[in-house]
Structure 1
Amino acid sequence: MMNRRKFLAATAATTASATFLPMPYVKAQSNTTIRMGALKLIHSIAPHFYEQFTPEGYTVEVIPFESPTEGKNAVVTKSVDFGMFGIAAATLGAAAGEPIVVIGGACNKGMGVVAGKDSDIESIADLKGKRVAIWPGSTQEVFILERLRMEGMSIADITPLRISFSEMHLALARGDIDAYVGAEPAPGVSLASGVGKIVEYPYGTEMGALNMIFGAHRDTLAERPEITSVILDIHRQASEFAMANPSELVEMAVMKLGQQREAIELSAPNVELTWYFGETELTQSKTYAQHMLELKQIQALPDFATLFDTRFVEELKQRA
């Protein structure tokens, strides 16, 4: 894996052009490098399985990013060809007029509301008056605000604290917060260490378990459709393999994320790697965007006709 700093300083590799042919893919005339952005989370572990499914003539270079915004920005600036990040980052970018396009799924679930193991917090309603870590602008923020609304509450009923996902478990362990709305593997770490307990996996809203998506720059789809077909087919195979082989998923996550095996083993069942993005996901995404608008996270809804392009995964589904 290339160091991110070195990557950003390097000159982008020249790729071979190819005529767009029907799927599964055209054969590259010379080696073609596809730059894939991935977050340092178990949600984004699928790209680390890509190598074994990459056809001859192609190389996938996995570029790590710390945050969904960084990953999305890398796609927008064409620092990478494709990237995985939260639906929140994609919606924020599209609403601001950025040329970001959702072309597939990446990961569902992967969220958790966690409280101190010995606390009296047993439900979302019990968060009233408590200090709760929430990362502003995240997918998790939209989900917890909707869950609060469903319980007849609002953000005014809790004390929200801005803490990054990577610091949430430590903040809970120190007693700085009473609960957090986090991303795996933090909930798994809190469970494995005996620091926390699961209050809820917040998937009972109209948004389902929607979380991370597979994104591309609009120009890439128009100018290089052949590599879009190739990378999505690789992504499909890698995601299905990892889900069918949970022990290998855990092994890869332990190796790439540097987390304790016990924590990853508890996190893995709360992660659903995926590739398809159909009518259900489109409906959930539009509902999600509406919530973001109501929460004033965006000033206007994005143009859904340009934000979503599912033709590649639909073609892939037909022949998979």
Structure 2
Amino acid sequence: MRYSFSRRQVLAGMGASLIAAPAIVRAQDTTVIRVGSLKLIHSIGPYFYERFTPAGYKVEVYPFESPTEGKNAVVTQSVDFGMFGVAAGLLGAAAGEPVSLIAGACNKGMAIIAGKDAPINSIKDLKGKKVAIWPGSTQEVFTLERLRMEGLSIKDITPVRISFSEMHLALARGDIDAYSGAEPAPGVSLSTGVGKLVEYPYGTAMGGLNMVLCTHRETPSSNPELVKVMLSIHRKAVEYAMANPNELAAMAVAKLGQKLEAIERSVPNVELTWKFGANEIRQAKTYAEHMLELRQIRTIPDFDAFFQTQLVDDLSRQL
């Protein structure tokens, strides 16, 4: 499925840098809410928050390069809310860090891409190849599970540590044979002809689970009203973005600096969401079990403390 995009809809991008300051700042009776977001299309939702922010509040978005950076900002309360892969949240929770999941953010948004001329057409073909994988990422867990399902393991490939934003360039240079990446990198590789699709790795018990919205563990109890406001903004923003793919693409072009042709390939592989119910919790628990088996975590997190989805459940019942 392809969408038609108008270049006139492409918005001017704005940069932002994280400023050390209290998590919630009141200025002239306005509550400023700081939200961390990754530089990925499936973390584009916060850039739609402004139009749905009620009077008395202002949302500031701070971009992060890696899921770990975003998670750490939540733990230290440098931001009030953070959007990153479920893997980063589970890693923190398993280590006893005060991070809690309060809502969904994006499903899917992943792809395993190989060089256009590489003899790689399936997961099994990755054997003996150099594959870029970001350690501790959602993509890592999905890729290792898909390898296991095909009778392979991490020992059968040469994993290369490369950040998501550098994967396409590494593939173009020939530094790697394939990568397990996050949109919009796959869209860039496909639209430029540099790469070819090996697989969208959603055929596991974890489904398309990917990005989540998290906050400091104390926030839901210490400031439930703030969480309610945030969830209302988040729901309206992601529902609007999904209903308006042209605007979603334009925002991604503006904020991520990618060409429209690349974003056009990425949009159908992105499912922005806010819901996080029983099925998603089950998928996340399965995810944690895989992480334990892979020795990415030493113990299963305290799920009662990690999953604080009561308010998003309440929001679901109200609709």
Question: TM-score normalised to the size of structure 1?
Answer: 0.93
Mapped to 2, the partners of 1:168 and 1:33 lie a distance apart of 34
Mapped to 2, the partners of 1:175 and 1:220 lie a distance apart of 46
Mapped to 1, the partners of 2:218 and 2:227 lie a distance apart of 11
| Aligned residue type for 1:301 | I
Structure-to-structure mapping, 1:117-128, within 5 angstroms: 117-128=116-127
Q: Deviations over 1:265-317 (max 9, x none)?
A: 10111111000000110000000000000000000000111100111111111
Assess, with a 3 A threshold, how the Cα gap between structure 1 residues 53 and 206 changes in structure 2: closer, same or farther: same
Native 8 Å contact 2:141 2:290 kept in 1: yes
| Aligned residue type for 1:232 | L
Assess, with a 3 A threshold, how the Cα gap between structure 1 residues 305 and 12 changes in structure 2: closer, same or farther: closer
Tell me the CA shift for residue 56 of structure 1.
1.2
Tell me the CA shift for residue 30 of structure 1.
2.9
1:4 is matched with: 17
Mapped to 2, the partners of 1:163 and 1:173 lie a distance apart of 13
2:133 is matched with: 134
Assess, with a 3 A threshold, how the Cα gap between structure 1 residues 216 and 314 changes in structure 2: closer, same or farther: same
The reply to whether residue 207 of structure 1 matches residue 206 of structure 2 is yes
| Aligned residue type for 2:246 | S
Native 8 Å contact 1:2 1:62 kept in 2: no
Poorly superposed stretches of 4+, deviation over 3 Å: 10-16
1:236 is matched with: 235
Secondary structure at the counterpart of residue 211 of structure 1: strand
Mapped to 2, the partners of 1:195 and 1:128 lie a distance apart of 21
Native 8 Å contact 1:103 1:215 kept in 2: yes
1:112 is matched with: 111
Mapped to 2, the partners of 1:208 and 1:286 lie a distance apart of 12
Q: Deviations over 1:140-163 (max 9, x none)?
A: 111011001100111111111111
1:21 is matched with: none
Q: Deviations over 1:43-78 (max 9, x none)?
A: 111111111111111111111111111111111111
Mapped to 2, the partners of 1:140 and 1:36 lie a distance apart of 23
Structure-to-structure mapping, 1:28-177, within 5 angstroms: 30-177=29-176
Assess, with a 3 A threshold, how the Cα gap between structure 1 residues 122 and 66 changes in structure 2: closer, same or farther: same
In structure 2, the gaps of 5 or more residues are 1-13
| Aligned residue type for 1:120 | P
Tell me the CA shift for residue 167 of structure 1.
1.2
Mapped to 1, the partners of 2:200 and 2:240 lie a distance apart of 25
Assess, with a 3 A threshold, how the Cα gap between structure 1 residues 82 and 11 changes in structure 2: closer, same or farther: closer
Mapped to 1, the partners of 2:266 and 2:201 lie a distance apart of 15
In structure 1, the gaps of 5 or more residues are 17-28
Q: Deviations over 1:29-48 (max 9, x none)?
A: 93211111111111111111
Q: Deviations over 1:64-97 (max 9, x none)?
A: 1111111111111111111101111100000010
1:22 is matched with: none
Native 8 Å contact 1:34 1:60 kept in 2: yes
Native 8 Å contact 2:100 2:214 kept in 1: yes
Q: Aligned pairs, how many?
A: 306
Secondary structure at the counterpart of residue 85 of structure 1: strand
Mapped to 2, the partners of 1:100 and 1:13 lie a distance apart of 17
Mapped to 2, the partners of 1:45 and 1:223 lie a distance apart of 28
Tell me the CA shift for residue 14 of structure 1.
3.4
Mapped to 2, the partners of 1:124 and 1:99 lie a distance apart of 36
Secondary structure at the counterpart of residue 295 of structure 2: coil
Mapped to 1, the partners of 2:110 and 2:217 lie a distance apart of 29
Native 8 Å contact 2:24 2:34 kept in 1: no
Secondary structure at the counterpart of residue 35 of structure 1: strand
Mapped to 1, the partners of 2:24 and 2:178 lie a distance apart of 45
Assess, with a 3 A threshold, how the Cα gap between structure 1 residues 155 and 266 changes in structure 2: closer, same or farther: same
Mapped to 1, the partners of 2:112 and 2:305 lie a distance apart of 33
Tell me the CA shift for residue 220 of structure 1.
1.2
Tell me the CA shift for residue 11 of structure 1.
5.5
Mapped to 2, the partners of 1:167 and 1:131 lie a distance apart of 15
Secondary structure at the counterpart of residue 134 of structure 2: coil
Deviates more, 1:199-208 or 1:122-131: 122-131
